[in-house]
Amino acid sequence: MAPRKIDLRGRDFISDLDFSVEEVEAVLDLAARLKKEYRSGKPHSKEFMLRDKTLALLFFFTSTRTRGSFEAGMAQLGGHAAFIDSDTTQIAHGDTAKEIGQIFGRYFNGIAIRQCDWGVGNRYINEVAQHSPVPVLNMQCDVYHPFQILADLMTLREHKGKDLRGKKIAVSWAYAASYQKPISVPQSLIIQLTRFGMDVVLAHPPEYKLMPEILQLAEENAKASGGSFTITHDMDEAFKDADAVYPKSWGALLTTTDPNESAEIGKRYKDWICDERRMRLAKPDAIYMHCLPADRGLEVTDAVIDGPQSVVYEQAENRLHVQKAVMVMTLGSYVHVLSSSKRAKRKAKPPARKTTRAR
Ligand code: CP
């Protein structure tokens, strides 16, 4: 079988599903190579460099990891990332999404945007992309957080092996009091991980539903990959025999958009915390995952997040490597070559299992 070229030059990355499974595997392969190079302390190979390339980082919402990793990553590749806080722009005075796409598309080689406002963010990013001559990258919207899930996949592969088929992950809601967190992380998790043959269990109290079209995609992806997708309202049930647990909070946005009402609903479920008792329900070698920031003492106990099963710092680090890989492949001239043995392995999958959805 001839080697296949994976060419992402000029492509947007807005939804997790904008890249095929094969394209995601190429990104993860390259990310692993970039991680190794970076850790060697030597500059990156010439073929990966983004010299003279610029990326706009337009933020409508706060960030620690996303901003830090995009800025550091672009500098390590020899390019420049410009941090732009939307509050310091003329957007509030009338600059439209079309104008941002048209104008930033003439200054920069790529436009990365974080816009998490409910019912607004994804539409805004897509509108910018429609008018932009350069790739648009989603740094998190109200629907998706695709770079976080690439980093999570990389972390899962490092701990559980590249073949994730049949591995169980519990994606669970957890209680938090800080703010109504977006639903983009659990939504991106369930649509991306089901493409890799994982047994994905989504757990949440009834009021913390995700978007029906996202659930539908997760079901379809599980069916196609031979994995499974199940929904439960019992956190303990989700954790049982899991290889990985990913308990995090999100807002009851499909039940109410009133933050006070949502906060009141949340108080009924304060026992949805990831503690040592719950970790013991999972497999002994299960990993604890969280995208951060976490509400310590509410979403998770210190003993768990600081304990031996926690991989949260690896997840945060891998943001750097996967984002560099996507920048190299979309903004640069690099084309990835997938080896034929890898393609042959991907084709040899077991028959699809039944997809269940418990209510
Ligand atoms: N996980 C994540 O996206 O972190 P930030 O919100 O700090 O960027």
Spans of all domains in the chain: 4-145+320-345, 146-314
Domains 4-145+320-345 and 146-314 agree in fold: yes
Query: What is the atom index within ligand 1 of the atom nearest the CA of 67?
Result: 8
> Residue 254 burial by CB count (10 A; 0-12/13-18/19+): exposed, middle or buried?
middle
Instruction: Provide the pLDDT confidence category of residue 352 given band limits of 50, 70 and 90.
Output: very low
Degrees to nearest 5, angle at CA 346 with 345 and 351: 105
Q: Which of 207, 181, 202 is nearest to 190 (CA)?
A: 202
Q: How far does the centroid of ligand 1 lie from the alpha carbon of residue 339, in Å?
A: 33
pLDDT in tens, 273-327: 999 999 999 999 999 999 999 999 999 999 999 999 999 999 999 999 999 999 9
Q: pLDDT digit string (tens) for 88-132?
A: 999 999 999 999 999 999 999 999 999 999 999 999 999 999 999
- The pLDDT, as a whole number, for residue 274 is 98
* CATH placement of domain 146-314: 3.40.50.1370
- For ligand 1, atom 7, which residue shows the shortest CA distance? 64
Residue 346 has pLDDT above 60, yes or no: no
For atom 4 of ligand 1, the residue with the nearest CA is: 65
**Which residue, by CA, sits nearest to atom 3 of ligand 1?**
66
Residue nearest atom 1 in ligand 1 by C-alpha distance: 291
Ligand 1, residues at Cβ distance < 6 Å = 63-66, 140, 148, 291-292
CB 187 within 8 A of CB 211: yes
CATH number of 4-145+320-345: 3.40.50.1370
pLDDT in tens, 128-178: 999 999 999 999 999 999 999 999 999 999 999 999 999 999 999 999 998
How open is the CA angle 94-95-101, to the nearest 5 degrees? Answer: 160
Is the separation of the CB atoms in 193 and 166 below 8 Å? no
b/e 212-233 (16+ beta carbons within 10 angstroms → b):
eebbebbbebbbebbbbbbbbe
| C-alpha 94 to ligand 1 mean position (Å) | 28
Confidence class of residue 343 from pLDDT cuts 50, 70 and 90? Answer: low
pTM: 0.94
